[in-house]
Amino acid sequence: GGWGNLGGGVTQIVMGTALFPLFKTGMSAEMAWRTVCLVPACVGFCLGFTIMRISDDAPKGNYAEMKKNGNMAEVSAAASFRSGATNLNTWILFIQYACCFGVELTMNNAAASYFKSKFELSTESAAAIASIFGWMNLFARGIGGFMSDKLNSKMGMRGRICA
């Protein structure tokens, strides 16, 4: 989906334009920026804990219940890992994802600092402009997923890899 990692852009704009000015009032700008980064970490931790408590493991239910009812085969973690690690498609997709997501994380982390130092913008303005990179996920991930689905329907997994 297109909302995949929109969080990078949202985090930049919320932290830079809403939270940073609040934190800046009682501490240095550098310390405020470092401290404000704790907010999304705490929100993420609380959200993860909540999801873990209220959601199912899969659309058909929790794994323990499915195994108990015979709907899911008992597979050891080692066997599952071995199956994935020996699949060539896994490694191709791993490398592709590492490259694209590594660039995205670098951009999300460095863009605001770059705009602030290079163009002498305020931290708030630099964060707002840097957030645009994350907002691109609204269409870029959607188009990529659409292309992947179309090629998958015609060529199978090889089509997804090509996309």
Mean pLDDT within 60-65: 90
Q: What angle do CA 43, 48, 53 make, to 5 degrees?
A: 130
Q: What angle do CA 13, 148, 100 make, to 5 degrees?
A: 45
Cβ atoms of 89 and 161 closer than 8 Å = yes
Confidence band, pLDDT 50/70/90 cuts, at residue 20 = confident
The pLDDT value recorded for residue 6 is 61
Say how many Å lie between the first and final Cα of the chain, rounded: 15
Which pTM value belongs to this model? Answer: 0.50
Name the nearest CA neighbour of 127 among 4, 28, 1, 13: 13
